[in-house]
Amino acid sequence: MTPAEAAEAVKVQVQTDKERIEQQVIARYPRASNALRNAALSVLANPSPSAPGSPPGVRSGHLKNNWHMSGGAVCITSGMGYAGYLEHGTRKMAARPFVDKIQQTALPNVMAIFEEIGG
């Protein structure tokens, strides 16, 4: 094998490995999004009323139970239009932030899901 052939063989192998790893990453998006959803269920289980600065308490359960996975990324979105008001507050209500807490809670599980990739 000449040096040029060896370089081409390495290039082909790297491209093949890259495509395989990308497929493995994409295949794990739903599991990682589910980890986020599970974290949301955990974080949003506070009793109502909640104190300003802590995640919102459960009144109806709509915010806690209306999370949807978005395809093509590790992402969940709330189906409740008032989620932003709780996260950021209003001029009449102090914020009840929950997004960062959900991310922090889910991070170890999400990292473990993607650490499975290799070889």
Q: What pLDDT band is residue 72 in, cutting at 50, 70 and 90?
A: confident
Rounded mean pLDDT, 20-35? 94
Residue 71: the pLDDT is 76
Kindly tell me if the per-residue pLDDT of 118 is higher than 80: no
d(CA 15, CA 77): 34
Q: Which residues, at least 6 apart from 119, have a Cβ–Cβ distance to it below 8 Å?
A: none
Q: What pLDDT band is residue 106 in, cutting at 50, 70 and 90?
A: very high
d(CA 77, CA 46): 20
Residue 119: the pLDDT is 55
Candidates 23, 39, 11; CA nearest to 111 is 39
Q: Residue 38 belongs to what domain range?
A: 3-115
Candidates 55, 59, 28; CA nearest to 42 is 55
Distances from the Cα of 52 to the Cαs of 39, 42, 63, in angstroms? Answer: 20, 18, 17
Rounded mean pLDDT, 24-30? 94
The pTM assigned to this predicted structure is 0.85
Q: What pLDDT band is residue 1 in, cutting at 50, 70 and 90?
A: confident
Please give the tally of structural domains in the chain.
1
Task: Provide φ and ψ at 82, rounded to 5°.
Answer: -90, 0
Q: What pLDDT band is residue 70 in, cutting at 50, 70 and 90?
A: confident
Rounded mean pLDDT, 98-117? 96
Residue 48: the pLDDT is 86
Do 85 and 56 form a contact (C-beta atoms < 8 A)? no
